Chain A
Amino acid sequence: MKTKLKLFAKARDLVGAAELELDLPESATVADLRIALGEHSPALQPLLASLLVAVGTDYASPTTRIGGRQDLAVFPPVSGG
């Protein structure tokens, strides 16, 4: 299923795009998304383990199902303030 995600900060710079579309099964979890991201954008590999994933405006857990969602965001640890 087509799954859309936004990228921010260093993740966006390494991928070279602010948005990505990946084809993932409906049952795909955040853990599967990490693997798919690493395959799609090898430059992200060193950041993969630390990437945070949000569904809508909430943080997702490793087991959250995200296949087919259009409102995902992926980003490294935050540093506001």
Chain B
Amino acid sequence: MIQLTHDTIDYTALTESIRSNQAGAVVLFLGTVREMTAGRQTVALDYDGFPEMAEAKLRELEAEARSRWPVIEAGIVHRLGHLELGDISVAVAVSCPHRHQAFDAGRYLIDRLKEVVPIWKKENWSDGSTEWVHPGVDNNGTQPQI
């Protein structure tokens, strides 16, 4: 199941939906809003997304995972909108016959999600400032020298 939502992610229901008698292993990853980043304090995150493309890319990632591991079922839910500290921003659930496959497939899905799925987060820092997070682009918007 692939889903973008503005609502709280029901990770229990997600996990139940991917359980199977064929799967001896179920792995659930939850991404949650962290308070401290490099010494700065976050009070909230705002997530923006390009829904049509994000869903298409998530479906592609699921297909890629299925081509590499014997995935029985997989589910990815990403939240958009305003999230407070501790809120769950993303849930990735995978079931496979054996644990190594489930861990590897789950890690692949969350790692690739962070690279290719068009969703962006904006930091709301404790000093009242806000800042889009765009990896590889520094705070002034310029690319770092490599």
Interface residues of chain A, those whose CB is within 8 Å of chain B, are 6, 8-10, 13-14, 46-47, 49-50, 52, 54, 56-59, 73, 75-81
Contact = CB atoms under 8 A, between A and B. Distances in A.
A77 B137 CA distance: 8
Nearest to B135: A77
B31 A50 contact: no
B90 interface: yes
B30 to A, nearest CB: 11
Contact of B132 (A13, A57, A73): A13
Contacts of B114: 78-81
Contact of B137 (A13, A57, A58, A76): A76
B2 interface: no
B110 interface: yes
A80 B135 contact: no
Contacts of A6: 50
Interface in B36-93: 47-50, 52-54, 56-57, 78, 89-90
Nearest to A46: B141
B122 A9 contact: yes
Chain A at the B interface: mostly helix, strand, loop or mixed?
mixed
A78 B48 contact: no
A1 to B, nearest CB: 23
B120 A80 contact: yes
Contact of B120 (A49, A58, A73, A76): A76
A47 B139 CA distance: 11
Given A46-B141, A54-B53, A76 B121 contact: no
Contact of B118 (A13, A56, A78): A78
